């Protein structure tokens, strides 16, 4: 279903409502700090967010329910913050520490809205059924390229790969491997390939993304056998545990590393990028950029287009160039 486009008046109204909410929440945060006196600042990690409330883990791993100062902008799962304790299990976040990376997508007005921060790996979960959406995979890959993080394509339900209606999937995966994207074959249902996958996740902060129906929830349960304990601990400490099914949440992997489950990225659009930004997101395009006859080449019907020549020579997959054109068309349509 196409997303309904907001009018400028609607955007202005939404902006005013959000500003009123920010002012109200800012007063709440400052009132909590005033009541607590001058508690010592500490560093922490945002484990999840629900509305105006954050679950923040201190350096010992203890969880606190925190408000935050509204001049800090959008705080998200994975953020490193400075906070001050205002109660037994409560606090206020007063500063946002620099981010090493951020995964974002456009908000209602087209501005980039952060989803998670400080990740170093995106794991794209696909499956033979439902059929992989190539355009969606390419958008995740471009987001990873611009965030400067690693990428892993995890093929779940590999026991279905031999069925006739998945004949095109091996070729699709081979095309991604040729341009340097690693592939992991797994079956969460039959416990196949999970140990190698856990090893790829160890010592990383990863986020799982993927369309509905790929078995992402089953995979999370297989990788996190203690997930109910972690959710219960989160709920007991902050009262936010019941919201983790609809909010990005950071979990500790038993084999080491951190895993973020974010239901909000089952569908995805890259943040607003110009033509150059979209070009740079396709890693196999880079050797040919700047070699077209025209500096503003759209890589469509122009003569002497280096990208189209590379496609003709088998150096770039035709489907990837088509994905690029779709992204350009979508970016123009949003403006």
> Per residue in 205-255, pLDDT tens?
999 998 888 888 889 999 999 988 888 888 887 776 565 557 899 999 998
Distances in whole angstroms, Cα of residue 240 to Cα of each of 12, 61, 91: 31, 16, 14
pLDDT of residue 4: 54
Residue 192 CA to residue 55 CA, distance in Å, equals: 34
What is the predicted pLDDT for the residue at 34?
A: 63
Nearest to 172 by CA among 140, 139, 131: 131
In the prediction, which pLDDT does 2 show? 44
User: Which domains are present in the chain?
Assistant: 33-96 (2.40.50.140), 102-265 (3.40.50.300), 275-334 (1.10.40.50)
Residue 71's closest CA among 18, 13, 26?
26
Q: Helices (DSSP H) in the chain: which residue ranges?
A: 8-36, 134-147, 169-178, 194-201, 216-223, 227-238, 275-281, 306-312, 318-334
Which pLDDT value is given to residue 128? Answer: 87
Give the global pTM: 0.84
Burial class (CB in 10 A: 0-12, 13-18, 19+), 147: buried
Rounded (10°) CA dihedral 243, 248, 254, 258: -150
Question: What's the pLDDT score for residue 254?
Answer: 92
Neighbours of 148 (CB within 10 A): 10
Q: Which two tokens stand for residue 320?
A: 């990837």
* Nearest of 334, 329, 257, 269 to residue 299 by alpha carbon: 329
Low-confidence ranges of the chain (pLDDT < 70): 1-39, 108-110, 163-167, 240-245, 264-267, 332-335
Rounded CA gap, 287 and 284, in Å? 7
Q: What are the backbone angles phi and psi of residue 87, rounded to the nearest 5°?
A: -165, -175
pLDDT at position 38: 65
The pLDDT score that the predictor gives to residue 6 is: 61
3-class state of residue 90 by DSSP: strand
Residue listed under structure tokens 């070699």: 291
**Which tokens go with 281?**
């997101």
């Amino acid at each position: 279903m196409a997303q309904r486009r907001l009018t400028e008046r609607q955007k202005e109204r939404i902006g005013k409502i959000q500003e009123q909410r920010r002012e109200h929440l800012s007063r709440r945060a400052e009132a909590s700090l005033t009541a607590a006196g001058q508690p010592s600042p500490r560093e922490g990690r945002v484990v999840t967010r629900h509305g105006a409330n954050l679950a923040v883990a201190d350096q010992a791993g203890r969880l606190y329910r925190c408000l935050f100062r509204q001049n800090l902008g959008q705080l998200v799962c994975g953020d490193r913050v400075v906070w001050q304790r205002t109660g037994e299990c409560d606090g206020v976040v007063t500063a946002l520490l620099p981010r090493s990376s951020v995964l974002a997508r456009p908000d209602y007005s087209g501005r980039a809205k952060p989803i998670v921060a400080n990740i170093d790996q995106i794991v794209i979960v696909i499956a033979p059924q439902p059929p992989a959406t190539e355009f969606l995979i390419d958008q995740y890959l471009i987001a990873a390229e611009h965030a400067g993080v690693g990428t892993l394509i995890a093929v779940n339900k590999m026991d279905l790969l031999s069925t006739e209606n998945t004949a095109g999937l091996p070729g699709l995966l081979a095309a991604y491997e040729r341009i340097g994207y690693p592939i992991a074959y797994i079956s969460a249902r039959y416990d196949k390939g999970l140990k190698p996958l856990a090893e790829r996740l160890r010592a990383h902060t990863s986020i799982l993304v993927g369309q509905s129906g790929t078995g992402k929830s089953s995979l999370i349960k297989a990788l996190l056998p203690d997930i109910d304990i972690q959710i219960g601990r989160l709920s007991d400490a902050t009262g936010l545990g019941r919201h983790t099914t609809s909010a990005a949440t950071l979990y500790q992997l038993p084999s080491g590393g951190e895993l973020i489950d974010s239901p909000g990225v089952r569908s995805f659009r890259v943040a607003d990028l110009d033509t150059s930004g979209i070009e740079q997101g396709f890693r196999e395009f880079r050797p040919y950029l700047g070699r077209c006859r025209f500096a503003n080449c759209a890589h469509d019907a122009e003569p002497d287009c280096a990208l189209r020549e590379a496609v003709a020579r088998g150096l770039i997959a035709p489907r990837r160039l088509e994905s690029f054109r779709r992204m350009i068309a979508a970016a123009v349509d949003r403006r």
